[in-house]
Structure 1
Amino acid sequence: MQSYLQYRNIGHVVRQQLGTDPEKTHSDLPSSVSSSGTETPADDADSCPADRVMTSRSQRSTMGHALNGIQVRDRTTIEGKGGSVFIVGWDGECDPANPHNFSKTRRVMTTLIVSSIAFVVGMASSIDSAVLRQAAADFGVSEVAESLATGIYLIGYSVGALFAGPFSETLGRNVVYISTLVLFSIFIMASGLAPNFGAQVVFRFLAGFFGSTPLVCAGGSTSDMWNAVEKTYAFPIFAVGGFCGPVLGPVIGSYIGVGHIGSWRWTEWISLITSGLVLSLVILFQPETYAPILLKWKARHLREITGDNRYRAELEITHTTFWTRMKIALSRPFTMLTEPIIILMALYLTVLYIVLFTFLDGYTFIFSDVYGISQGLTNIIFAAMVVGMLLAMVIVPPLFQLTKKDMESVLAKGGTHIDPEIRLWFAMLGGSLSIPVSLFWMGWTDFVSISIWSPIIASVMFGYGVICVFISAYMYIIDSYEVYAASALAFVTLLRYACAGGMTVAGIPFYKNMGTHWTLTILGCISMPLVPIPYVFYKWGYLVRRHSKHAVTRK
């Protein structure tokens, strides 16, 4: 619905652009367009009117040369010999169809909707862990086997992430968000109706596969609307909402199966209901933000209005088939294996996700077994991580001012882009160090003689560290690789979710055989060598980018 209204609005914007100088375009337009154009004379145009440059071309070609945002060039051999092609661009910096010029309210709302998609698919990834015992008993399998319902969902995430990018770059963000959310909902419903354990595992994998879209596309959606400085607060808006999903999943399902809601299958029904609500928001209020698709719509309107088929968007004249893009998308992420930035950031996030998702099993050992609290209350404690994630928002305002100041310095020197290393401040301001500290703290205060609030506070610290490192890693990768960012993020997503999915199944034996103290100590020791990564890249990251085949270099 919103995309249809947006498409019509672009047509209105095009007519306004053509009507800003009716004397110069009247001879080339149908009478209906000319008359509508006179309703918006040049004197009423905004502060960024379309520029006009008269040429000696024919009347039909004159308009193509005169319209602001239209690049005229000769056709290539592939496009057909002879004549010109009009490449459609934005009508100056203030083109209202450009997502960067949407009102701030609309951009925040759109970011929150994308975040809500990430929230619902993240919630579905972990909510089953809250009813592990009940589902295992119902299917007649062990709890270790039933934990595969969570693990296989995460593996579905990792595989689906490879396909989401090329689809969104061909069809647009909205079509992909809507279609995958519909399919996600269908397979979540199928999981809830699964007659046996095998069917549940298959349906959970497919739900994860189609739920992976926001993991890859959300970074693109954010970049579609926000400039480099604005992303300092825009991306955390997405990240907090998205990260709260897997953390709040156990909280939402905490009393299912043990309270008045008797069946464990209600975890899937709650996920289905939530996804339905989010799908409604996407359909009704989510605009398309992918610029090449919007320019394709604009070119189509120009062809219809003027009757001139030479108006083309770049996407329409780029002779790359969808299957070629898919081949590139599936192979390019693995070329990132030579990129130190990608390897280390992927390793960092993989360790964090292994810890986070083994907590789905581990909290039972950490809290229920030690302190004797109920299954429902143990799952409620996951909310402590959310508190830590929200605390991270305290550092957003000062970092926004720091980024703004850095951008002003770059512009004063004649540059146009900030250096990606400034994104590492989120991790450097205690984010990276708080992760091993919180794990050691939780591991060595997890005794019945010590207050339960000690490991709970450690959980708060862990939540703070996870969100800070996630924001830094994602923003640093996006700014460092720009056009290759989708491939870089696809590889990072593939690695971290595949490993996290496998470790989810290993979590119960790990905690049961090693005990909570040594398990958390081992995890803390693994995360300890990763602490210097953001500091190292902040100091020498520009040198690493300078020797990279894919990263941008600005220093």
Structure 2
Amino acid sequence: MQSYLQYRKIGNAVRRQLGTDQEKTNADIPHSASSREAETPDEDVDPYPAGRVMRSTMGHALNGIQVRDRTTLEGKGGRVFIVGWDGECDPANPHNFSKARRVMTTLIVAAVGFVVGMASSIDSAVLPQAASDFGVSEVAESLATGIYLIGYSVGALFAGPFSETLGRNMIYISTLGLFSIFIMASALAPNFGAQVVFRFLAGFFGSTPLVCAGGSIADMWDPVEKTYGFPIFAIAGFGGPVLGPVIGGYVGVGHIGSWRWTEWISLITAGLVLSLVVLFQPETYAPILLKWKARHLREITGDDRYRGELEITHNTFWTRMKIALSRPFTMLTEPIIILMALYLTVLYIVLFTFLDGYTFIFADIYGISQGLTNTIFVAMFVGMLLATVLVPPLYRHTKKDMASVLAKGGSHIDPEIRLWFAMLGGSMSIPISLFWMGWTDFVSISIWSPIISSAMFGYGVICVFLSAYMYIIDSYEVYAASALAFVTLLRYACAGGMTVVGISFYKNMGTHWTLTILGCISMPLAPIPYIFYKWGYLIRRHSRHAVARK
């Protein structure tokens, strides 16, 4: 609905612009310009010189139109009018949307991330009931969560090229619709094998926000505004996996008797979010909007030379798909990507093994119920919310840094400024919280000790996630989608595998040793943000893909 209204609005804006610039079109045409047009015939335009000159003058007169010769890969000879924005303040440009509209759009994208994240973990809340119903072990049933995450990792490779061809909105709507279908199929699964297949497909189509959300935010927020724009998405989106067990905590053990209601709850939530996307989400991908503008100009003027940049590129969809599927693996030589991917992979392994571990930590040791154990995940989300206190001071710091860059004649801030979220306690909070929980989860020690440590873990995870994502996006710019696709592929594939073995890990090693081992694994990674803050610009200078500022 919003996309259709947006398309109509762009058409009305084009008509107003044509009317405003009509005086330029009616101006006297210099003889040299007329003869130049006559010397470069274009088979796409009016064969009569007067009409050709008149329409060419219109193309030259309109704001935001770049006139240049076609290349051999762009069709036959002659000129093409590349359509751009009508000045820096063009209201159709997503960067010029009102702040309220940009916040609303970001929250809707976050809602998409929340619902697919919630679906990834909500099944863990009813693991015993689902395993009993299908007649399989709890280790086998945990595959319902693990295979969903693996579906995430595979689907992330495909979302980017489609969004760059069809636009963000079309991808959100279509993939969320398909996601809902397979979540419904999971709820109706007659056996364990069907459930696993449907969960994989649900994860595959639910991966869209992992790739497209960063693009949607970059479409609307400038580098300074991204300091608070990205956390709006990340905290809500990251809250999905954490709050999934809370939402499904009492399904199967309370008045809602069937474990299948976890899937129905996911489906209902997905339906509500899909309605929000259809009704209120505008398209934000600039090349698609300019393509719409070019289409209106062709229809109104009858001149086929008006084209959006996306329409004349010689890279076909399948070429972009081939690049998207192969380029992420070229990032294997990038130290920034390798270390950040390793860092986030460890975090996700810890996070999703917590889905298994909370039962051993709280239910087995402290003897509380299954529903209350799942409710304790709220503590981790509270820790994530605490990260918002860092946003105002970091926004002021980023704004000041940008002013300094502009005063020196630059135009971009250095990516290292994004690492402050992780450096302000985020990276150190993770191993500390794991050791804290592992060494204090005894029945003789208050249950509040591991609860508070889980809140500290949530704070650390979201801070590292914010820094890692924004640092990668700013460091790789045009290659950011490929870099994020590789990071997503690695961390979700590993997390999916660890979700399955997590139960055996806790059973064989015990909670104290399991958490201690996870803390020891995460501790050597804690200095990574500080290393990149100190020497990141040197690493970027020797990179094939990263920007080399500073």
Per the normalisation by structure 1, the TM-score is 0.94
Which one of the candidate residues 437, 444, 447 is aligned to 1:449? 444
Aligned to 2:34: none
Q: Could you tell me whether the CA contact under 8 Å between 2:21 and 2:62 is conserved in 1?
A: no
Q: Give the Cα–Cα distance (whole angstroms) in 2 for the partners of residues 189 and 376 of structure 1.
A: 24
Paired residue type of 1:535: Y
CA distance in 2 between partners of 1:535 and 1:63 (Å): 55
Computed over aligned residues only, the root mean square deviation of the Cα atoms, in angstroms, reads 1.0
| SS in structure 1 of the partner of residue 336 of structure 2 | helix
Q: Which amino acid aligns with 2:64?
A: G
Return the letter of the residue paired with 2:71.
Answer: T
Unaligned runs of 5+ in 1: 29-56
Amino acid across the alignment from 2:15:
R
Cα drift, residue 502 of structure 1: 0.1
Aligned to 1:169: 164
Q: Check whether the contact 2:149–2:495 (CA below 8 A) recurs between aligned residues.
A: yes
Amino acid at match of 1:313: G
Whole-angstrom CA distance in 2 between matches of 1:27 and 1:316: 30
The offset of 1:58, in angstroms, is 2.2
Which of residues 339, 348, 351 in structure 1 aligns to 2:346? 351
Shift of 1:202: 0.2
1:311-322 matched pairs, under 5 angstroms: 311-322=306-317
Q: Which residue of 2 aligns with 1:16?
A: 16
Q: Tell me whether 1:372 sits opposite 2:372 in the alignment.
A: no
Change (3 A) 1:64 1:455: same
- Rounded to whole Å, the distance in 2 between the matches of 1:77 and 1:518 is 65
Moved over 6 A (4+): none
2:330 and 2:73 map into 1 onto residues whose CA distance is 29
Question: In structure 2, what is the Cα distance between the partners aligned to 1:519 and 1:87?
Answer: 59
User: Are the aligned partners of 1:27 and 1:59 in contact in 2 as well (CA < 8 Å)?
Assistant: no
* Equivalence for 1:288: 283
* Contact 2:74/2:313, CA 8 A, preserved across alignment: no
What is the aligned partner in structure 1 of residue 245 from structure 2? 250
Letter in 1 for 2:529: P
Q: d(CA) in 1 for partners of 2:479 and 2:499?
A: 30
| C-alpha displacement of 1:26 | 5.7
Equivalent AA in structure 2 for residue 293 of structure 1:
I
2:89 alignment partner AA: C
Partner amino acid, structure 1, of 2:191: N
CA shift for structure 1 position 266: 0.1
Structure-2 separation of matches of 1:26 and 1:173: 39
- What residue number does 1:67 align with? 62
Structure 1 residue 227, shift from structure 2 partner: 0.1
Separation in 2, partners of 1:118, 1:343? 25
Q: Does 1:194 align with 2:213?
A: no
CA displacement at 1:540 relative to structure 2: 0.4
Aligned equivalents of 2:526, 2:484: Cα separation in 1? 21
Residue of structure 1 equivalent to 2:511: 516
Q: Provide the secondary structure at the position in 1 that maps to 2:72.
A: coil
1-side partners of 2:489 and 2:387: how far apart?
A: 26
What's the secondary structure of 1:272's corresponding residue? helix
* Pairing of 1:319-468 with structure 2 (within 5 A): 319-468=314-463
- Please point out which of 138, 148, 151 is paired with 2:146: 151
Alpha-carbon offset, residue 27 of structure 1: 9.0
* C-alpha distance in structure 2 between counterparts of 1:26 and 1:386, whole Å: 62
User: Judging changes above 3 Å, is the alpha-carbon distance between structure 1 residues 80 and 368 closer, same or farther for their aligned structure 2 residues?
Assistant: closer
Match in the other structure for 2:175: 180
User: Could you tell me which residue of structure 2 aligns to residue 300 of structure 1?
Assistant: 295
2: distance between equivalents of 1:208 and 1:80? 41
Q: How far has the Cα of 1:18 moved from its partner?
A: 1.3
Map 1:41-80 onto structure 2 (within 5 A). 58-80=53-75
Secondary structure of 2:92's aligned partner: coil
Shift of residue 78 of structure 1? 2.7
Secondary structure in structure 2 of the residue aligned to 1:121: helix
Equivalent-residue separation in structure 1 for 2:505 and 2:70 (angstroms): 64
**Deviation per residue, 1:343-370 (Å, 9 max, x gap):** 0000000000000000000000011000
The alignment-based identity, stated in percent, is: 88
**Structure 2-normalised TM-score?**
0.95
Shift of 1:193: 0.1
Contact 1:254 1:379 (8 Å CA) reproduced:
yes
- 2:481 counterpart (479, 486, 493): 486
Distance 2:462 2:490 in 1: 18
Kept after mapping to 2: 8 A contact 1:353/1:500? yes
Alpha-carbon displacement from aligned partner over 1:247-284 (angstroms, at most 9, x marks no partner): 00000000000000000000000000000000000000
Distance in 2 (CA, whole Å) between partners of 1:396 and 1:366 is 33
Contact 2:113 2:210 in 1 (8 A): yes
Structure 2's unaligned 5+ residue stretches are 29-51
2:388 is paired with a residue whose SS is helix
Task: Give distance in 2, aligned partners of 1:232 and 1:186.
Answer: 35
CA contact (8 A) 1:154 1:498 kept: yes
String of CA shifts for 1:501-551, please: whole Å, max 9, x gaps: 000000000000000000000000000000100000000000000000000
Question: What is residue 5 of structure 2 aligned with on the other side?
Answer: 5
Q: Deviations over 1:161-214 (max 9, x none)?
A: 000000000110000000000000000000000000000000000000000000
- Separation of aligned partners in 2, 1:451 and 1:516: 16
* Secondary structure, counterpart of 2:74 in structure 1: coil
CA contact under 8 A between 1:442 and 1:454: conserved in structure 2?
Answer: yes
Aligned partner of 1:529 in structure 2 is 524
2:139–2:503 Cα contact (<8 Å) kept: yes
Letter in 2 for 1:473: A
Query: Out of 73, 96, 118, which is 2:91 matched to?
Result: 96
Aligned pairs for 1:29-40 (under 5 A) are none
Specify the SS of the correspondent of 1:520: helix
> What residue is the counterpart of 1:212 in the other structure?
207
Deviations 1:191-241 (Å, cap 9, x if unpaired)?
A: 000000000000000000000000000000000000000000000000000
Provide the secondary structure at the position in 1 that maps to 2:105: helix
Structure 1 counterpart SS, 2:73:
coil
**Residues of 2 paired with 1:552 and 1:98: CA distance?**
25
In structure 1, what is the Cα distance between the partners aligned to 2:79 and 2:531?
51
Separation (CA, whole Å) in 1 of partners of 2:539 and 2:61: 44
Select 1:476's aligned residue among 460, 471, 479.
471
**CA–CA separation in structure 2 for the residues paired with 1:348 and 1:265:** 34
Measure how far apart 1:82 and its partner are.
3.2
Residue equivalent to 1:141? 136
**Conserved in 1, the CA contact under 8 Å of 2:430 and 2:522?**
yes
Q: Distance in 1 between matches of 2:502 and 2:322?
A: 35
Q: Does 1:131 align with 2:138?
A: no
State whether structure 2 residue 297 is matched by structure 1 residue 309: no
* Farther off after superposition, 320-329 or 148-157: 320-329
C-alpha distance in structure 2 between counterparts of 1:500 and 1:313, whole Å: 41
